[in-house]
Amino acid sequence: MIRIGLTGGIGSGKSTVATMLAERGAVIIDADQISRDLVEPGGEALAALVTEFGPRILQENGSLSRGELAALAFSEPQATARLNAIMHPLIREESARRLREAPQAPAVVYDMPLLVETGQQDLVDLVVVADVPEEVQLDRAVRLRGLDPVDVRRRMEVQASREVRLAAADVVIDNSGDLAQTQAQVSRLWDEIVGPDS
């Protein structure tokens, strides 16, 4: 079973590529879902976040107020670093466990937006980058996801640059065309790494 690390910047269409791979039989391990699980009440990260950022990040029912945490954690680089110091090791540990315990499948895909930034390439056999030009990232994130352009630019600034991601890639999926073009590239990738009959 091959382990694929799938990454890409905001608005790159990474989720579309993940869905196409899942349709071919890949098991998907979603880093964003792992992050959400870790901050659930009783989750491994929640107590550490409260210790670091204070009880105001909790709602009345004891669950995390994501907006409050974001306001505190992204207010300055040092606060973001404190958040990352708590979350990234836990996400890496849980991701490694899920990769080890993944059910048998032709491939397991670790869907991780910050794969390169957090140095997790060693968890996978192959790094696949969903890539579009930066102006396309911005347009899609604003137009399709309804995000604020200023927020999108800020997120892009803290993510690895396009050049750094591409340098880390074993395979690049050019996602700037239509769905059929992306589908053709994903099919080619699947046939090369798994085989056309899988």
Residue pair 38/91 in contact (Cβ under 8 Å)? The answer is: yes
d(CA 2, CA 7): 16
| pLDDT in the model for residue 197 | 63
Report how far apart, in Å, the C-alpha atoms of 2 and of each of 6, 74, 170, 192, 194 are. Answer: 12, 36, 13, 12, 8
Q: Give the model's pLDDT for residue 129.
A: 97
Q: What is the pTM of this model?
A: 0.87
Condensed to tens digits (0 to 9), the pLDDT of residues 11-37 reads 899 999 999 999 999 999 999 999 999
pLDDT tens column, 111-132: 998 899 888 899 999 999 999 9
